[in-house]
């Protein structure tokens, strides 16, 4: 028990440091790209988009590879190599002489983003059905805290030079590698391992394997709609608040810090309690409903105080994702956990490719004269509609009697086919 608690603590710290390392460079990135390319801050945003695209594409392609490798060789070596890769990546960014070296560094970061995939698989290995929601909630808490601490540290360190945050991120990742090398045990037992299969170690192969479980196939669709919709907040929040309410950069920062605090509280402390009192399936559906309500309310906010009030239902929707992961983990075999988490990470990366472009384009269009009417909250409304689709899917699959019956019949028929084929 003590070893499991220590391992979970390490995974939490690992993800926290990774997110801090990601967030620590955000305040200095515009200025650095502007200096590197001799362009304005406004033009630098375009190059920042290229970097995000490169990271997301690399992560989309390689996450299943990393997940499948961890299913064969174990979580520990893959996780440690990932941490070492992150530290090397930040050093490349620190010494990058031009933009293309920076671009290569972001591709490497996407490839070595195994920490998210493998850490999730590690948690699946050591969690019981009773502790899964709580443990996966720690991932969300790490993200929330990391995006509070990272930009704050980046803003302070950036005063001493635009490269200093990169050195700090490299040191944090390397220190985590050393720490994990000496204290992190292996979580995947030899009998639960399987050989690496290139046919499954790609985004489509991994998702195809997961989709054999009919419930998971539809839940993956809900997962995609939710994360694309969430980019309405992630990609347009600063533009919307500055355009609609005249917020300063500091005000935007305070609001995002509040989001991080609420997310950390909800996912670390309330997700498991929601699963206990509501049941795992119902807590997922309620969480998706709260996400939808919060997002639609953002769209029609007319005063600053409304946004802060509407953050409450939106952030409380965070009870859904840890419990959804817990549910999906319980539906696959131990030797497929890396594959599952790799597939989920690929899907998240895919939404990162699609979501920002979609939401920023909608925001831009509905704030121009070309639009039939001016509506700055259009991206939030679109995000709310997509989240509503996720809510309907999860309600049908997890709570409606007809949805349960259909998936049970399908799964039983697939099991019969499997037995016939093996005999």
Domain final position from 185, 220, 242 = 185
Same domain, yes or no, for 155 and 243?
A: no
Hey, what are 332's tokens?
């696959």
Helices (H), 25-98: 29-37, 41-73, 75-95
387 occurs within a structural domain:
yes
250 occurs within a structural domain:
yes
**What is the reported pLDDT for 114?**
57
Hey, what are 218's tokens?
């539809």
Q: What is the CA radius of gyration of the chain?
A: 21
Domain range enclosing 132 = 1-185
The residue behind tokens 């509280």 is 265
**What is the reported pLDDT for 417?**
45
Q: What is the pLDDT along the chain (423 residues), one digit of tens a residue?
A: 456 666 777 778 878 877 787 777 766 676 777 788 787 654 565 676 677 778 878 877 787 787 778 888 888 888 888 888 888 888 988 888 888 888 888 888 888 765 677 777 778 777 777 777 777 777 777 777 887 787 777 777 877 887 888 888 888 888 888 888 887 777 777 777 877 777 666 666 656 666 666 667 788 889 889 989 998 887 788 778 878 888 876 677 678 778 878 877 887 778 888 988 999 899 999 999 999 999 999 999 999 999 999 999 999 998 998 888 888 877 777 766 666 666 676 677 778 778 877 888 888 888 888 889 889 999 999 999 999 999 999 999 898 766 565 555 445 444 434 334 434
345 occurs within a structural domain:
yes
C-alpha to C-alpha distance for 152 and 406, rounded to whole angstroms: 50
CA 339, 344, 346, 347 dihedral sign is positive
Same domain, yes or no, for 240 and 389?
A: yes
Helices (H), 246-303: 249-265, 271-278, 280-299
Domain final position from 154, 185, 216 = 185
Residue 287: CATH number of its domain: 1.20.1250.20
Same domain, yes or no, for 5 and 148?
A: yes
289 occurs within a structural domain:
yes
CA distances from 50 to 54, 99, 236 (A): 6, 10, 17
Same domain, yes or no, for 220 and 175?
A: no
C-alpha to C-alpha distance for 245 and 243, rounded to whole angstroms: 6
**What is the reported pLDDT for 113?**
67
Same domain, yes or no, for 111 and 236?
A: no
191 occurs within a structural domain:
no
Same domain, yes or no, for 263 and 121?
A: no
196 occurs within a structural domain:
no
Same domain, yes or no, for 322 and 416?
A: yes
**What is the reported pLDDT for 414?**
45
198 occurs within a structural domain:
no
Helices (H), 184-279: 203-210, 214-245, 249-265, 271-278
**What is the reported pLDDT for 369?**
85
Same domain, yes or no, for 313 and 168?
A: no
**What is the reported pLDDT for 226?**
93
Domain final position from 153, 185, 217 = 185
C-alpha to C-alpha distance for 96 and 73, rounded to whole angstroms: 33
Same domain, yes or no, for 84 and 21?
A: yes
Same domain, yes or no, for 335 and 287?
A: yes
Q: Which of 178, 220, 248 is nearest to 17 (CA)?
A: 178
Same domain, yes or no, for 274 and 422?
A: yes
Same domain, yes or no, for 148 and 255?
A: no
**What is the reported pLDDT for 409?**
46
Using N-to-C axis directions, what is the helix angle for 29-37 and 41-73, rounded to 10°? 110
197 occurs within a structural domain:
no
**What is the reported pLDDT for 86?**
84
**What is the reported pLDDT for 181?**
86
Number of domains in the chain: 2
**What is the reported pLDDT for 344?**
74
């Amino acid at each position: 028990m003590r070893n499991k608690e220590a391992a979970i603590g390490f995974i939490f710290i690992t993800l926290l440091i990774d997110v801090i390392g990601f967030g620590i460079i955000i305040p200095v990135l515009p200025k650095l790209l502007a200096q590197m390319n001799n362009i304005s801050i406004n033009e630098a945003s375009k190059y920042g988009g290229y970097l995000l695209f490169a990271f997301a594409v690399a992560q989309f392609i390689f996450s299943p590879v990393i997940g499948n490798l961890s299913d064969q060789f174990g979580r520990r070596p893959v996780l440690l190599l990932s941490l070492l890769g992150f530290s090397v990546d930040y050093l490349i960014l620190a010494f990058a002489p031009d933009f293309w070296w920076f671009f290569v560094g972001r591709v490497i970061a996407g490839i070595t983003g195994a920490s998210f995939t493998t850490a999730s698989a590690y948690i699946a290995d050591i969690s019981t059905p009773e502790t899964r929601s709580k443990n996966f909630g720690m991932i969300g808490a790490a993200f929330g805290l990391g995006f509070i601490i990272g930009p704050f540290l980046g803003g302070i360190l950036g005063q001493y030079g635009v490269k200093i945050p990169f050195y700090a991120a490299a040191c944090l990742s390397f220190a985590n590698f050393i720490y994990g090398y000496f204290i992190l045990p292996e979580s995947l037992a030899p009998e639960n391992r399987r050989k690496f299969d290139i046919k499954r170690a790609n985004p489509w192969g991994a998702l195809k394997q997961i989709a054999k479980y009919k419930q998971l196939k539809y839940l993956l669709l809900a997962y995609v709609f939710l994360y694309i919709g969430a980019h309405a907040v992630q990609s347009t929040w600063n533009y919307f608040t500055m355009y609609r309410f005249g917020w300063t950069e500091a005000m935007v920062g305070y609001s995002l810090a509040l989001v991080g605090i609420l997310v950390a509280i909800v996912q670390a402390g309330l997700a498991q309690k929601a699963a206990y009192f509501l049941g795992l399936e119902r807590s997922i559906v309620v969480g998706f409903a709260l996400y939808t309500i919060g997002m639609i309310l953002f769209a029609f906010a007319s005063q600053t105080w409304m946004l802060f009030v509407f953050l409450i239902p939106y952030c409380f929707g965070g009870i859904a994702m840890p419990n959804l992961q817990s549910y999906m983990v319980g539906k696959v075999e131990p030797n497929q956990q890396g594959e599952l988490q790799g597939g989920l990470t690929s899907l998240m990366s895919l939404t990162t490719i699609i979501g920002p472009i979609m939401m920023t384009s909608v925001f831009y269009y509905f704030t121009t004269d070309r639009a039939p009417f001016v509506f700055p909250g259009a991206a939030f409304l679109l995000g709310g509609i997509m989240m509503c689709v996720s809510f309907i899917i999860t309600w049908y699959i997890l709570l409606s009697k007809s949805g349960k019956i259909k998936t049970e019949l399908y799964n039983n028929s697939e099991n019969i086919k499997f037995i016939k084929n093996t005999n």
